[in-house]
């Protein structure tokens, strides 16, 4: 899991997610790539939005580099 935050920092480790009609997030957010963690599937609730194919690809590439896969 890559957590999202509404606190936007310009540090290069986070990916900015602009609020739009496609992702339906409640506010602009940043994906915190530096805080990847595992989460039990039972703790995952409903869908809160959709970051889209392009951003998901970028996040997956980063996770692959971090995990050396």
pLDDT at position 42: 92
Q: Is the pLDDT of residue 12 over 90?
A: no
- In angstroms, the CA 17 to CA 28 distance is 6
- 11 pLDDT more than 90: no
Q: Could you read off the pLDDT of 35-54 as tens digits, one per residue?
A: 888 999 999 888 888 888 88
CA 47, 49, 54, 58: dihedral to nearest 10 degrees? -70
């Amino acid at each position: 899991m890559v957590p999202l935050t509404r606190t936007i920092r310009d540090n290069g480790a986070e990916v900015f997610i602009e609020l739009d009609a496609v992702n339906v997030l409640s506010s602009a957010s940043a994906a915190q790539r530096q805080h990847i963690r595992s989460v039990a599937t039972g703790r995952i609730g409903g869908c809160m939005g959709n970051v889209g194919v392009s951003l998901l690809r970028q996040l997956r590439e980063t996770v692959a580099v971090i995990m050396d896969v």
